[in-house]
Chain A
Amino acid sequence: MAEEVVLLDFWPSPFGMRSRIALAEKGIKYEHKEEDLRNKSALLLQMNPVHKKIPVLIHNGKPVCESLIQVQYIDEVWHDKAPLLPSDPYQKATARFWADYVDKKIYEVGGRVWKTKGEKQATAKKELIETLKLLEKELGDKPYFGGESLGYVDVAFIPFYSWFYALEKCGNFSIEAECPKLIAWAKRCMQKESVAKSLPDQQKVYDFILEMKKHFGIE
């Protein structure tokens, strides 16, 4: 049966990137539709009426919403190639825990780094580094969070790397100086075609953040 896969996306979204990577890892051909979030398409509103957000994965006409739910779905449906989640329940639980940790922390704390100034920004920077250091510790000496190959946590986390340059410029700090092993991991991930093709250029992301700051009246 011909599979029809569509991804409703927005280029700088780290959440959209997760699904792009998962689809690429599995070698799935899909139609990529770029959304204008100031003018959401009828299709997006129809496929994600609850949240009206991207990414939305549409498989044979049926929508799957929320990026980590999409990654799990992709892993389960196309289970023959490049497994992202381990098969052992305990290892799976560990992977889910860290992906959840990334979800709870990185976006919100990172957001505060570029949206605030002064003391609030200093606090956000400190929190971000603490969070990244904890993830670095979890990585340990493994090449990937998934072990020898890219796994669920790698897919959940690597998209935020495309935002690091922007955060560093906004916060005037170096993430590599604090977390060299994590940056080494990120560069290792970027060697993979599935990741390199899914992440936008860091300068482009920075320009986008600057536009957002102007739009929201943030200095």
Chain B
Amino acid sequence: MEKKPPKKLQAKHKSPRSINFKVIKLCSNHSRNKLKPEALILAKSEEQLLSAYGKTNGCVLTRDAGLGIEYCDSLDQNLQMVEKGTSLLKKMEISVAEAEKRTGKNAVNMQETYTVYLIEMRPVDAASEGTNPVPDSLWRRYSEFELLRNYLLVTYPFLVVPPLPEKRAEFVWHKLSADNMDPDFVERRRVGLENFLLRVASHPDLSTDKIFYSFLTEENGWKETVFETGFQAKADSRLKALNATFRVKNPDKRFAEMKHYGDELQSVISQLLRVRARAADRLYGVYKVHGNYGRVFSEWSAIEKEMGDGLQSAGHHMDAYAASVDDILEEEEHYADQMKEYLFYADALRAVCRKHELTQYELEMAAQDLTSKKQQREELATGTIRTFSLKGVTSKLFGQETPEQREAKLKMLETQIEEGEELVKERNAECEEFVKSAWVDIERFKEQKDHDLREALISYAIMQISMCKKGIQVWNNAKECFSKM
């Protein structure tokens, strides 16, 4: 399997962090090896662009041999992740370098085509020394990522587990393919998967998980290891419980609010993505129709004498204008992907709140059960029947029980009550534990979210600025040609 030679990066702002970034950024983007014809136009305005963006975190925007400018939207997130430095990330650099198509037999022995992704692990020290040893690597497909995530969800129900990139393309505008095999989709998924791994690797708790580590290191037999943990049994029961409707009497207020927040966040981001996709479609139309000017100016110039040259060259600029929209919208997809991540994060957040409700509910159930048992004991002891029970009715109808029977019952109840109290204590502790750890993680998540979304908005604004500057440039060029008509 061929490894593409790493692109040489030129850091605009040299900072100690930039070295760590080299490799991560490299692997994220080396397949984006496109030359952008409009980039020369950007040359002058880049300075402003870079200084505006650079202010935020002194981080790196790279230039591809002076011909292209690439934003790394996730760059800043990576920075934060590396900075917060889990011990894992301190040692290793993780990336999803490539994607490949495979065919094979699936579970029902049918031929299928699927995509696999190459995960690379590189020791940190080697990168900073400038040497480039061959990284440890293995191939994984999307379903294995899913398996990993499900495992994490079950094992750490109190954590907001980072989401995977979407399984199927949604919120697509017409030019974007909804086909899972489409190379652009695959590429965006590769970036999303890498992002997922980095998120997990930078989480203080998740990064230490053994299964996660073996996901990164053991190609064969990993699946078996996961199943051996028996998490699936827990998963099934948990899933059933979560899907069932239940009413909690005393949920923690903060979690109730968080759940509500999660709902609202999900709703608003969905709407944002939907409208954005429609707007992207329209914008595409606007730019592309200008290409028709190119053609008609060319035809027109053929029947003109002095006006011909000016018209012809103006036409070229109209063509360039029309072509520029592809890159613009590709950049915008990055923004959409960032939003999508938080759309799915909202879901993960809601899941934690729901799990809290579940533990709370189980506690309440246990407490309720205990109370009723205690009441039964009381009734039995005092002989009064306060609570309705079938036994009570039948005994009334068919006569009271013997004292021996009553003794036996009482004894049973006592044991049950003892067990019940144990259970309540257990569940209570569980609940408290859950609330404590979950809230810590939720706070961590809140900070991360505020930071990331702010960064996303900044890079979105920068994108818009770049688009405007390109537009001004093109129309100025056209204007010059017209003035020479």
Q: Do A and B bind each other?
A: no
